[in-house]
Structure 1
Amino acid sequence: MKKFVLIVFALLALSCSKPVIEITPTYIYNSEWSTYTVEISEVELKQNIQNPGAVSGFELFNMLQKNGDGSIIKKDSNFLFSKTGFSQNKIMFTEQNGDLIWSNRKNIKQAAKVLGRLKEDTWYVLSGIKSNWLYFAYFKSTGKHYVYSIMPTNI
């Protein structure tokens, strides 16, 4: 009986676990991909954030929501699409990901097997990592990086 209770608790704990998501300048890691497209957009925030480390995800969300339309300016956007879903947990920017190809949103014919390292001192919005969530990422030239997950409602 004791073993049964332990097994039930273990199964509950596993079923309630959140996916592990890590975003760096060279890759995205997701322990539970549930989408078929990842989009990475280089953006400019109208409200300049001098120190990204001093802002919480909640504060960033409030800034973007308060400013309304136009608080995010898209500069460039690339996406990766898979008909069958992502079979590996890690999607590399600096290496090939099997047969997957990065496409540019502005010029769909411009495609590449390798996207390249994400730029330093630049804001990015990433979507498709987790359904209905946006990830804002900022990579400092010092090697420090900041990632904020935001459920996009009215941004």
Structure 2
Amino acid sequence: MNSLRMVSALLALALSACTTPLDPIAVIHYRQLGVCTHAQTGSGAITAPAGHAIAVFKVFRIDNTKLGKSWSFDSAAMQLASPPMKQNLGGTGPVPVGAGQAVTLNARIGILVETEKPDGSDAAATNYFLAYPMVPPAPGTLGAKENASQVSYPFAADCNAIAGG
């Protein structure tokens, strides 16, 4: 019985030595607002081609309180966590995120996605998740989707009809 305890103690010690603490990360809080086919961007009007739609998101807060590092968040760098993603339609530009700070935002993001249906309406039944690339000086981040359990989203031709969320 003592040898069993000794083996258990040694195994626990060995396993604890294998774990390493995770580096602190910034948490990007967002929600998926809906799907549309026509958007007005800073570069002009965009119409999703057949077999595509524009998935619309809102980033509303970045929690950088665990990091002692300042960086700039650029919504144009956001991407889908799993492809296929055609392109991010741009953003409002970089936003400074101070070390140890939480920043409230109202950043809208439109991402062109592929769909099965020519009108793009089937994208309204897809739960998309976002990721932010770890490109220095950006820290490691985690996307926290507020409405991750939602199973369907509004679909409209005009993105302005769903962009209020």
Under a length normalisation based on structure 1, what TM-score does the superposition of the two structures give? 0.34
More relative contact order, 1 or 2 (CA 8 Å, 6+ apart): 2
Larger strand share, 1 or 2? 2
Q: Which has the larger radius of gyration?
A: 2
